[in-house]
Amino acid sequence: MAQEEKTTEQRISLQRVKAAYAGERRNARQLSKQARRVERLLIENAAVKNAAEELGKKKIENGFIPLGGGIYVQGKIESETFYQSGAGNVMIPVKKAGLLEEVKRRNDILEKEFQQLANTLKETNTSLMNLQRMLEMARAHQQKKKRK
C-alpha cells in the first residue's frame, strides 16, 4: 500500500514539473515577444531622433516623406516645426527642442522596460533549465525502475 502511494505521488510530482515547465516556456515566449516589440520601438525612436537632428542641420531641397506602409512621396521639407499626433489624431506643433526632449523621455522609458524584460527573461530561462534538469532526472529514474 505504501509503495502504491509513493508511485502515485511521484506521478503527480512529475506532472507538476511538466506543467511548470510548459508554463515557463509560455512565459519565455511571451517575454521574448514583448522584448522584440520594445526593441522595434527603440529603433523607431532612434530614427526619429536622427531625422530631427538632420533636418536642423541643413535645408533639404528634396526628400522622401514616408506615408506609411513602405510608401513615400517626394517633396520639399521647408519647415523646422514638427507635428506630433495627439489624442483623436489631433496634430500638435512641436519645436525641435521639445521633440528631442520627448524622444529622450520615451527612450529612457523604453530602455528601462527592455532591461526589466531582459532580466525577467534571464530568470525564466534559468527556471526552465532547472525544470528541464528535474524532468531529465525523473525520466532517468523511471527508466532505471523499469529495468529492475
Helices first, then strands: H and E counts in the chain: 2, 4
pLDDT averaged over the chain? 86
String of DSSP letters for 47-79: HHHHHHHHHHHS-EEEEEEEEETTEEEEEEE--
- Grid cell, residue 119, equals 532580466
Using an 8 Å Cβ cutoff, are 63 and 138 in contact? no
pLDDT tens-place string over residues 127-138 = 999 999 988 888
DSSP structure class, residue 119: H
Predicted TM-score (pTM) of this structure = 0.73
- The lowest-confidence range among 2-16, 47-61, 86-100, 113-127 is 2-16
Query: How far is the first Cα of the chain from the last one, in angstroms, to the nearest whole number?
Result: 20
Q: Provide the pLDDT confidence category of residue 12 given band limits of 50, 70 and 90.
A: low
Kindly list the distances between the CA atom of residue 99 and the CA atoms of 26, 86, 87, 94, in Å, as whole numbers in the listed order. 38, 13, 17, 6
- Grid cell, residue 64, equals 522622401
